[in-house]
Amino acid sequence: MYTIKDVAREADVSIATVSRVINGKDRVKKETREKIVRAIEKLKYVPDQAARTMISKKTKTIGLVVPLLSNEYWAQMAEMMQRRLIKRGYSLLISTFNFDDHNDLSFLDTFMERKVEGIIIGAWPKPFSESDQAYIGMLQSQNIALVSLAHVTNNVIFIGGDHLSSSMEAVEHLIRLGHHKIAYLGGAGVGFERELGYRNAFMLNRLQIDESLIVSEREHTLHYFSQYGYERTCRLVSERSEFSALFCANDLIAIGAIKALEEHGLRVPEDIAVVGFDDITAAGYYRPALTTVKQPIEDMANAAADVLLEQIEHPDVRSPQRKIMFPMQLVVRESCGYGRGQ
């Protein structure tokens, strides 16, 4: 195995000069730099990522931006993407954003500094604006490949599940069980389409929507979903709201809600039926096991990685597909029995 000393000897320069070229520091004459690069290529000396980047002009690094890794859904998504990318010779740089500072796009600056070749947008920290569109355009002008798991702009390929239809299916399942008074727990950060699916299910079944049973925190993005589900369910029960079922925008909200119901002497599913969304690992092991909508996390993660790498490795080929949708599956478990449906 050759060392940096061998490279210096081959190029007839000092070790310090080789080191400066590899690390991109200080000025080195063009002809000297070319001699060192030829020596590295001849000896196949690749000490680290910096050297690889210098030779190939590619970092083989992908950026992923997600809201919260404490949410098992995003942790699973990141892990699946990383596995896929590693098999293709790429590494994954993960960044989370600050929900409370809507102007903080520093995660994109970090990706630029690290010279990522592509970015997977798991979520966006605010409503998409013209300035955000300009930022996306700037990234694309620098040949940075983009895919998104969030609906941000038509200029970026979207990969995701049909949240609207699957939410409708979950609520209609409760309606078929006899529940007409169904509360909804959602909010910013979990997707408005799930609330829209809830509303559509009521309208399609010609049922009156009780707005007092819709709890959707839109002013502030949720950070601690289980705590939110617990607190809002406690409030619903304390206000003596009449409901026989509860549809939650994700599984963590549902888990918090079940704890609140049990603490108030209400049994799940005997008194209140509960349905979640995502089908995180904990959903099947919780007691009662949680009825939920299963997102195909692995399929979406693999598709996001593959579509992104296709753009990187074949930049001249534009994909005709701007949206790739995956079906979701309602998984019926113990938490969704017949309760006090009217």
Answer whether 0.75 is exceeded by the pTM. Answer: yes
CA–CA distance, 28 with 5 (Å, rounded to integer): 18
Annotated domain spans of the chain: 4-56, 61-160+297-325, 163-295
Q: Which 8-state DSSP code applies to residue 278? A: B
With tokens 């620098």, the residue in question is 142
* Torsion from C-alpha of 141, 143, 144, 145, nearest 10 degrees: 110
Of the CATH numbers 3.40.50.2300, 3.40.50.300, 1.20.1300.10, 1.20.1560.10, which one belongs to the domain with range 163-295? 3.40.50.2300
pLDDT in tens, 12-68: 998 888 887 876 656 788 888 889 888 888 888 766 555 555 554 567 899 998 887
CATH, domain range 61-160+297-325: 3.40.50.2300
Nearest to 67 by CA among 234, 239, 250, 193: 250
Same fold, 4-56 and 61-160+297-325: no
CA–CA distance, 116 with 260 (Å, rounded to integer): 44
pLDDT in tens, 139-196: 888 888 999 998 777 788 899 889 999 999 999 999 999 999 999 999 766 778 899 9
CA distances (Å), 270 to each of 90, 248, 257, 288, 337, in order? 50, 18, 15, 11, 7
Within a 13 Å sphere around the CA of 174, how many CA atoms are in the beta-carbon half?
36
Are the C-beta atoms of residues 67 and 123 closer than 8 Å to each other?
yes
Of the CATH numbers 3.30.420.40, 3.40.50.300, 3.30.70.260, 1.10.260.40, which one belongs to the domain with range 4-56? 1.10.260.40
pLDDT in tens, 74-99: 899 999 999 999 988 899 999 887 65
